[in-house]
Chain A
Amino acid sequence: MPVSVDNSRAIYDALKSGGVRVISALPETWLVHLIRMADEDPDTVLVRLAKEEEGVGISMGAHLAGAPSAMLMQNHGFLAAINGIVSGAQLFRIPLLMLISARGEFGEGDPWQTEGGLVTTHILETLRIPHESLADPEEVPTKIEGALTLANASNRPVALLLRRGLMWEA
């Protein structure tokens, strides 16, 4: 499976450097190494979800309890979590770091992934969720640090879109 171990490690290390202690996730091909790293790390609480909206609740609880957290999900998982994001994280002003694998863009070969890619960015903007791409391994530490800084300063959700070029090895 040509998901990049090195770039997954760079993302994981940046989350740890940012103090993230709780990670909620639903398996998705691009996220397998990240989820495994969280699972193998005794200092990280990994919560495997049944559906992504739960992860918003987990992160809300973790934040109120003083534990920085992150959600790992596919863009379709983001779509599944929207009510929790709006009526939970946004209403209650919770800093919520979402790492979203951006499926359905150029290079996507799975027909079932192609609709989500068309709407993900538009929905992030409609929800006024600040978002940036993570595409280059060099920018991973600064962008994850920057996302956490803005989430905490604004007490709102922020998103990083994990791009194919970062997660998938040709």
Chain B
Amino acid sequence: MRRLDALEAICPRFQADDVVVVTIMGAVAAELQSLGHRPGFFYLQHAMGLASSIGLGIALSRPKLTVVVLDGDGSILMNLGGLTTLGRYRPPNLVHVVFDNESLLSVGGFPTATGTGTDLTAIAAGAGIPRTGTARTPNELVHEFDAALAADELTTIVAKVEAHYEPPADTAGFVTPLGLLENRFQFERHLDRLREAGIG
């Protein structure tokens, strides 16, 4: 499946007030922004591998929020130890989606180990993530995502996607009009407001 189609399919789930989203950089960040930025979306530019750790920090600090991490195969392969930490604390309010295109798309498309047999779903299960799933179509992804929300249990969903990217309008390569620090402070203020409003 195309990652943009996958994102479009689950994006309606990100519109709820108590949902915040942390993404990796590159295509995932640019495409999610192209579908409509929200103040509860944080795009981790750089710090490769740490999106899942940031999601864990938010999920443990704010248990009433639903935290969605949109990760990538290259990123999670850089932080497999972090997967064991997720598996240790298993916050029920975290849904971890890994877009697996079997390549480091934004830096030349070199193949990652998932293209040569590494199975991230099995690794996640072996790391102690209580629920895992694999999605190969947008419908499967929506199904797995909704099942994760309903189960109220930490879930890693590996979404197999094509290694394909076209910059959306207003995006130069991977640089979107939304400034990195603007996004960071907007996101923090948004989380403050959610707490003040008693939402999470």
Given A64-B188, A65-B57, A69-B57, CB of A56 within 8 Å of CB of B84: no
| CB pair B47 A83 closer than 8 Å | yes
Check B47 against A64 for contact (C-beta < 8 Å).
Answer: no
A148 to chain B, nearest CB (A): 17
Name the one of B61, B192, B195 contacting A61, with C-beta atoms under 8 angstroms.
B61
Main secondary structure of the interface of B (DSSP, over half): helix
CB < 8 Å neighbour of B50 from A47, A57, A62, A67: A57
Establish whether residues A56 and B60, one from each chain, have CB atoms under 8 Å apart when the complex forms. no
> Are B180 and A91 in contact, with the CB atoms below 8 A?
yes
| Distance of A60 Cα from B188 Cα, bound (Å) | 10
A59 close to B81 (CB less than 8 A): no
Mask of B71-92 contacts with A, CB within 8 angstroms, 1/0:
0000000010110110011000
| B162 CB, nearest partner CB in chain A, Å | 27
Residues of chain A in range 1-29 having any CB-CB distance to chain B below 8 Å: 21-22
Residue A51 interfacial (CB < 8 Å)? yes
B49 CB-CB contact with A under 8 Å? yes
Complex-state Cα separation, A83 to B46, whole angstroms: 9
Size of the B side of the interface (Cβ < 8 Å), in residues, is 37
| Distance, CA A44 to CA B120, complexed state (A) | 32
| Count of chain A residues near B, Cβ 8 A | 31
Contact for B57 among A50, A51, A57, CB less than 8 A = A57
- Tell me the bound Cα distance from A94 to B162 in angstroms: 34
Q: B38 contacts the other chain (Cβ, under 8 Å)?
A: no
Of residues 13 through 57 on chain B, the ones whose CB sits less than 8 Å from some CB of chain A are 22, 42, 44-57
**A66 contacts chain B at the CB level, 8 A cutoff:** yes
Contact A54 B61 (CB under 8 A): no
How far apart sit A61 and B81, CA to CA, in the bound complex (Å)? 17
Partner of B52, one of A57, A62, A63, A92: A57
Which residue of A62, A87, A93 is within 8 Å of B184 (Cβ)? A93
CB pair B47–A56 under 8 Å, yes or no, is: yes
Decide: A57 and B181 in contact? CB cutoff 8 A. no
> A51: which B residues are within 8 A, CB to CB?
81-82
Complex partner residue of A54 from B50, B187, B188, CB under 8 angstroms: B50
Cα(A57)–Cα(B85), bound, Å:
12
Which A residue sits closest to B52, measured CB to CB? A57
Check A47/B56 contact, CB under 8 A, given A54-B85, A66-B192.
yes
The answer to whether the Cβ of A88 comes within 8 Å of any Cβ in the partner chain is yes
B62 at the binding interface (Cβ < 8 Å): yes
A58 adjacent to chain B (CB < 8 Å): yes
Residue interface mask A58-100, B partner, CB < 8 A = 1: 1111111111010000000000000110011001110000000
Query: Is B89 touching A67 in the complex (CB atoms < 8 A)?
Result: no
Contact residues of B with A, CB < 8 Å? 22, 42, 44-62, 65, 79, 81-82, 84-85, 88-89, 180-181, 184, 187-188, 191-192, 195
- Residues of A participating in the B interface, judged by any CB pair closer than 8 Å: 21-22, 45, 47-51, 53-67, 69, 83-84, 87-88, 91-93
Chosen A-B contacts, 10 in total, with CB atoms closer than 8 Å, are A47-B57, A53-B49, A54-B53, A54-B82, A57-B56, A62-B57, A62-B61, A64-B184, A65-B62, A92-B180
